[in-house]
Structure 1
Amino acid sequence: MQRSKTVIIRLTQKERELAEVKAVSAGLSLSELFRASTLKRRLPRKVTHIAADTYRELAKIGVNLNQLTKAANAAIKLGQTPPANPELLENLETLLKKVRRELVEIDVVADLEDADDWEAS
C-alpha cells in the first residue's frame, strides 16, 4: 500500500528527541513509530458516569447475592429451610457477572469493529 497523505504534528525539542530514541531502539522510522503508536494501539475507553455507577451498583448486588447464596447453602447443610433457592441465586449471580462484563466490553467491541472498518478502507 502506497502512503501518500501527510500528517503534521508539533513536538517540543525534548519530545522529538524522545521519539527519535524510541524509534531507533525499536528499529523503526519516526513515521512507523507514530503509526504503530496511534493506529495499532487501543485508546483508553471513555466510560460514562452512568456506566461506572451501574457497574458499582451491580457489584454491590453481586456481593449481596453471594452472601445470600452462602446463607442458603449453610441452611441446607444444617437441615433448615434456605431463605432462597441456592440454584436460582447462583444463576442470578452468573447473569449479573455477565451483565457487568458486557457493560465493560461495549466500547471495546465498538473500537475493534471501527478498527476493522478502518483497515478495510
Structure 2
Amino acid sequence: MPKIKTSRVKYPEGWELIEPTIRELDAKMREAENDPHDGKRKCEALWPIFRISHQRSRYIYDLYYRRKEISQELYEFCLDQGYADRNLIAKWKKASILRSIFVVHGLLLSLFDFFLHNILFFLG
C-alpha cells in the first residue's frame, strides 16, 4: 500500500505551551489586516501590523533567550514557520553601543559610590 503524504506540519514538543499566545496574536494580526484604513495614510495603516509582528517575535525571543523556557528545536520551528522574524531577532541579539555605555556607566557609578563610601567611613 502506498504511503499517503499529508501536508500537516508536525509540531515539536513544547508547542502546546506557546500555542494559545501565538493563536491570539494571529487573530489580532488578521483583525489588523482586515481593519478598514479609510482616511489613514498608507504607512499609518501598516503600523498595527508591524506592532503585532514585533510583539510576536519579541515573545518568542524572550522565551528562548531570556527565560529559556522553549527548546532550540521549537525556536527554530517558529522561525522556519514564520511565527517570528529571524532578522529582527538577530538585531536584538547584537550588543548595542548604548547597552555597553550604560553598563560601563553603571560600573563607574558603582565604583564611585564604593570609594565615596570608604572615604566617608575613614573621615567619619
Between 1 and 2, higher relative CO (CA 8 Å, sep ≥ 6) is seen in 2
Would the TM-score normalized by the shorter structure come out above 0.5? no
Task: Normalising by structure 1, report the TM-score.
Answer: 0.32
